[in-house]
Amino acid sequence: MFFQKAREDVAAVRERDPAARSFWEVYLLYPGVRAIRMHRRANWLYRHRCYFLARWISQRAVRKTGIEIHPAATLGKGLVIDHGAGVVIGETAEIGDNVTIYQGVTLGGTGKDTGKRHPTIGNNVVIGSGAKVLGPFKVGNNCRIAAGAVVLDEIPDDCTAVGVPARVVRRKGRKVDALDHVHIPDPISQKFCELEGKIQRLEQQLNEANQQQGENQ
């Protein structure tokens, strides 16, 4: 089972990271793969009430990889933590299958909840660099969260969310490349473009009015 999981971890990275060259390079040198591997041991100890040893392994993983995963967190199959520096995954977080997480992501709480305090991430989700998902809600299957977004509310399936706080800007639309978490619509830029268009139309109307008034005089 250990070798099967190792092969699955490496296969997921090689499928989604064009820079991955070989099995051993990914298995031995990629911090995301190493952090997930160490989490499995910590999680086993945590479930068997060896809390101190579980936390010792998780904190050792932080020092070696820069990735902090609480021993109680639930990770699905095919998880890829790309680069991984600064990633934090909280105690009650649950992550589905085939999820991609980039550096600087936090799956955390708001400090206002008890019990289930961290998010549940569905299957086939991409979370861009620096995004924060905070609270005990669900991010649906096949969602895309843009780099730098701050998600504070539930996101339905098949959505793209951007901004601070995050807003859904696409739902069940055209397919988005699983590796492209940057080139997605920005609602703020769209609003500025809309306002610029209105200003241009008003200026044109004003110029026409002034021109007509000059001809009448």
Q: For 20-33, write each residue's pLDDT tens digit.
A: 889 999 999 999 99
Which pLDDT score, from 0 to 100, does residue 42 have?
96
The one-letter code for the residue type at 102 is Y
Q: How many residues does the chain have?
A: 217
Which pLDDT score, from 0 to 100, does residue 181 have?
54
Of 131, 126, 133, nearest to 154 by C-alpha is 133
Of 193, 1, 29, 139, nearest to 10 by C-alpha is 29
CATH class of 2-185: mainly beta
Q: What is the mean pLDDT of residues 180-187?
A: 56
Q: What is the mean pLDDT of residues 89-110?
A: 94
Q: Does 113 score more than 90 pLDDT? A: no
Q: By the 8 A CB rule, do 142 and 124 touch?
A: yes
Which pLDDT score, from 0 to 100, does residue 184 have?
56
Q: Does 175 score more than 90 pLDDT? A: no
Which pLDDT score, from 0 to 100, does residue 183 have?
54
Q: Does 130 score more than 90 pLDDT? A: yes
* Beta-carbon contacts of residue 204 (< 8 Å; ≥ 6 apart): none
Q: By the 8 A CB rule, do 6 and 27 touch?
A: yes
Which pLDDT score, from 0 to 100, does residue 217 have?
65
Mean pLDDT of the chain: 88
**pTM here?**
0.75
Which pLDDT score, from 0 to 100, does residue 69 have?
96
Which pLDDT score, from 0 to 100, does residue 176 have?
46
What tokens were used for 118? 């961290």
